[in-house]
Amino acid sequence: MLEQATTTSASTNSDVLLSVENLSVSFKGENKQFVETVKGISFQIPANTTVALVGESGSGKSVTSLATMGLLPQGQSKIAEKSKIIFEGKDLLSLSQKEMRAICGKEIAMIFQEPMSSLNPVFTVGDQIAEIMRIHLGYGRKQARARALELLKEVGIPAPESKIDAYPSQLSGGQQQRVMIAMAIACEPKLLIADEPTTALDVTIQKQIIDLLESLRKRRQMSMLFITHDLALVGEIADEVIVMRHGEIREQGLAKAVLENPQDAYTQALLMCRPQLSRRPYRLPTINDFMTQKDDQAIENGNLSEAKKADRQRGLTGNEEIILDVQDLKKSFFSRKGFFAKDEFQAVKGASFQLAKGKTLGLVGESGSGKTTIGLLLMRLQQASGGKALFQGKDILAMSDKDFTQYQRKIQIIFQNPYASLNPRFTVGQILMEPMQVHQIGANDAERKKMALDLLEKVSLPAQAFHRYPHEFSGGQRQRIAIARCLTLKPEILICDESVSALDVSVQAQVLNLLQDLQDEYGLSYIFISHDLSVVKYISDQIMVMNHGDIVEIANSDELYASPKHEYTKRLLSAIPQGTSEYI
């Protein structure tokens, strides 16, 4: 195995707040045998410092944080006796549950990745913040509520006087994450653990959360353990960085040194997998381009040079064939106001655009801008309030359900969450064959099975996957299954709705390469909806920017990034993390 690469750390000249020593964590596997997932790692978090813990899913990042908080599942996990987690001179692993409860939430606090899963839906946000102070600080109800209001103001919640009595479902994703931060800092902890706090957030909200965390850390003189799979964020917020893979530390040191001159092949791979704003390689490098399957050693620059070959050209000339012409598309939602009156919310306000055959139209904007609504309208999963969508000269929005059936095959959508969009009771074979049976593609099931197996090979999945269930696959593999399901109907247009947003950068690169291969082979046209502006620039020929239901700007991707015209577009682009070096 490759030796752990280490860059000089800043912690040698600082007081150490937390020291993880030889931490090994094992989980009970399918055969009831314990399998080691974190393998003897050691690192330190100095006082008043942000340390980033980086790696893909399954690297052991979150397990390390849960071990620190004493939140590992009892009976299903165990920590090796030699392991120690020293916080201000106390070994947290040797403390009783009562002693840990006195520290966790007060001295050490944690922001979890999914605020909607972490916040109690039946209590107001004010009550949930106040509860922490009543438990740990002994505040009365009135005092705790007053302090909760101050915290909501501190984390930038708009109109905190009204939001304090709101339920989590009444807040946006960014506001929910701010509530989680308010809960975490309520007792003024010395160490704040942030576990993927910006995953799936809009780029502008992501920047606001990063800036908020950093300002709070400095103002309160806390330390922070920032867990992420995105190295671009590390350069924005971290003083030091630790890179993990398969439960081991591959590299650690000062963030600037690691990002500008990574020593470990895996760190280099993570940096190069993510699309760069400065160039568009013909294919994105993946982890396997840098690491051999046999011994995890770096490959001798062969595939690295492949990644540096000529870039892929994107953009429209104006002479392309138009496959979809959308004119004045509108969608309104209504809510009751009083006994008779209704409030109207215009989600899409007269959108007009064209999609060129064999090209990709990127669709960007913040949550609530109308991006996903446009995709759902074109699929007729929601009914448009007005406008036209001309496909092959026919308005698909005005057709009857019966007439639309023959066009439905030609426009398909890949949803954001493959965990929710694949039927858990169906095998992959059933998932792929069902749409073919419904639309009478193939003469019989034997022919359909052959087509399904061909599609599995096309999306780089083994034939054995045909008989397995979705839960047996990783997130990236499930997204490949979702793509294969769309291809069963031989569509001409694919709507990709945040289809790579929740994936690790290496898996994201694989899916983006797959989408480009399919476009090259079949001439597919894509509407690519995303909040990740680096990904959108990489894959799009033309980009459409939406804000509050309006299209504010449409331009070729390179042109829009080089010279945006609209102030909203400029604001979106300025929020892109610039933390990684362009060393490649």
Residue 569's H or E segment, with its range, is helix 567-574
Spatial contact of 441 and 448, defined as CB atoms under 8 Å apart: yes
Give the rounded distance of the alpha carbon of 361 from its chain centre: 21
Nearest to 9 by CA among 273, 264, 241: 241
In Å, how far are 114, 152, 155, 367 from 160, measured between CA atoms? 22, 6, 10, 21
Predicted pLDDT of residue 8? 45
For residues 53 and 152, give the distance between their C-alpha atoms in angstroms, rounded to a whole number.
28
Tens digit of pLDDT at every position of the chain (584 positions):
444 555 444 444 458 999 999 999 999 877 788 999 999 999 999 999 999 999 888 889 989 999 999 999 988 999 999 999 999 999 999 999 899 988 998 999 999 877 777 899 999 999 999 999 999 999 999 999 999 999 999 898 888 999 999 999 888 777 888 899 999 999 999 999 998 888 767 788 888 888 889 999 999 899 999 998 888 888 889 999 999 999 999 999 999 999 989 999 899 888 888 888 888 888 888 887 777 533 344 444 444 444 445 788 899 998 999 999 999 999 998 876 666 667 788 999 999 999 999 999 999 998 778 998 999 999 999 999 999 999 988 999 999 988 898 888 899 999 877 777 899 999 999 999 999 999 889 889 999 999 999 999 888 889 999 999 998 887 778 888 999 999 898 899 999 998 887 778 888 888 899 899 999 999 999 999 988 888 999 999 999 999 999 999 999 999 999 999 999 999 999 888 876 544 33
On whether the CB atoms of residues 492 and 524 are closer than 8 A, the answer is yes
pLDDT at 407: 87
What integer pLDDT is reported at residue 581 of this predicted model? 45
Q: What is the pLDDT of residue 276?
A: 83
All structural domains of the chain, each given as residue ranges with its CATH number in brackets, are 322-336+346-410+527-575 (3.40.50.300)
Q: What is the CA radius of gyration of the chain?
A: 25
3-state per-residue secondary structure call for 303-319? HHHHHCCCECCCCCCCC
Nearest C-alpha neighbor of 386 from the set 352, 343, 422:
352
Number of H helices, E strands in the chain: 22, 22
Q: What is the pLDDT of residue 13?
A: 44
Asked if residue 212 lies in contact with residue 158, where contact means CB atoms within 8 angstroms, the answer is no
Burial of 255 (0-12, 13-18, 19+ CB in 10 A): buried
CB neighbours of residue 167 within 10 Å: 15
Rounded Cα–Cα distance for residues 61 and 255 (Å): 17
Structure tokens at 150: 């101050």
Of 443, 428, 531, the residue nearest 482 (C-alpha)? 428
412 phi and psi angles, rounded to 5 deg = -125, 160
> Which residues have CB under 8 Å from 267's CB, separation 6+?
5, 243, 250, 251, 258
- The count of other CB atoms within 10 Å of the CB of residue 166 is 17
| The pLDDT value given to residue 32 | 82
